[in-house]
Amino acid sequence: MTRPLLFTPLHLRDVTFANRITVSPMCQYSAVEGFANDWHLVHLGAFAKGGFAAVMTEAAAVQADGRITHGDIGLWSDAHAEALRPAIDFVRANGALAGIQLAHAGRKASMQRPWRGNGPIGAADNALGDIAWQVKAPSAVPVADGWLMPQEMTPGEIAQLVDDFAAAARRADALGCEFIELHSGHGYLLQSFLSPLSNKRTDAYGGDRRGRSRALLEVTEAVRAAWPEGKPLFVRISSVDGAEGGWEIEDSIELAKDLKALGVDVIDCSSGGNMGASKVSAGVPLPPGFQLPYAEAIRKGADIATQGVGLILDGPQAEAALQAGQADLVAIGRQALFDPFWPRHQAYDMGVNAFDDWPEQYGWWLNRREKSIQAIKAKG
């Protein structure tokens, strides 16, 4: 039987992804003062054991005020990098590539942890020790009514942001990470520069699409210079704002061309979030693979590798997307929370490597149990 494309390697620069399945960044809201801890070790380590080719951390803030919540991890100092080292080392030691998503939350910083309301920090959160801080954005435009009013960033603050993204990339390299992703989606800082709904500037960082792209392009150029030539660079974007007068797929295709020229290897294609929570976070019912058409359009329109994400639920669905040329990689998020061994279970169901490539601590036993399982199935 022909091996499914989902379980074939992908080569990006000097790095080989053992299969086409990655873990999407998922904030855990469990850090203290930006420092990762044992929760992150166990959370990320489970995916490495589960057969994902690459495991990416949650959004790691490049500045302290760039965290989404008080529970987010950071990478704005060497001490924060060292706190993350046990998780990165474990992921790599157990067969997966380790990646870090670098981010700044912008006007969506200083938020509640989702289970406390998923909105801006308020008095009830203050009583629990979570104190609001001043948020920054391209323009003084809040996310929505009732949200914190951001302070417009100065050109000097943008220059510092560029430097801090590059410094975080160097820390990720020192940790041994094989790839990084810049977060320019979901209404966070870099994406809020892109969208005309949130960027009302009249200087070089505003105006037309090229001006609104400038902050992201400057960050990308600085990170690519700080990041080893042989290691791939991803950028996550909101492919569309999904709102009238906002960022459209045609904008994303042109942006992807610009990013490719700067040395970006993969566009991670999400959507929405600029004017509030993303559709998935907001609990809006959506069809499986609802964002794959964006990944396909950008892949074909900009001639660049893409990563598809969004309600990819099983192996056959992922395989069909890859075979149709919609994406080169698929990122599994909440389905990975439901099943940290998703790649191995899908491989089993699709007739690939029953237990031979599992961690030997598991595979040795499961291989021997399999004869009994098949005998039971044969009896009906």
Q: Could you give the CA distance from residue 207 to residue 237 in angstroms, rounded to a whole number?
A: 19
Return phi, psi of residue 216, to 5°: -65, -40
3-class DSSP state of 176: coil
For 209, other C-beta atoms within 10 Å of its C-beta total: 16
3-class DSSP state of 247: coil
Quick one: DSSP state of residue 351?
Answer: T
Return phi, psi of residue 23, to 5°: -95, 125
Q: Which helix (H) or strand (E) holds 292?
A: helix 292-302
Backbone region of residue 361 per phi and psi (left: phi > 0; alpha: psi in -120 to 50; beta: other values): alpha
- Report the chain's terminal Cα–Cα distance, integer Å: 25
3-class DSSP state of 335: helix
Q: What is the CA radius of gyration of the chain?
A: 21
Catalytic residue, from 188, 205, 294, 348: name it: 188
**Contact in structure between 110 and 94 (CB atoms under 8 Å):** no
Is 294 designated active site?
A: no
Q: Could you give the CA distance from residue 223 to residue 218 in angstroms, rounded to a whole number?
A: 9
Q: Could you give the CA distance from residue 313 to residue 38 in angstroms, rounded to a whole number?
A: 28
Q: At what angle do helices 342-349 and 315-323 cross, to 10 degrees?
A: 80
List active site positions: 188
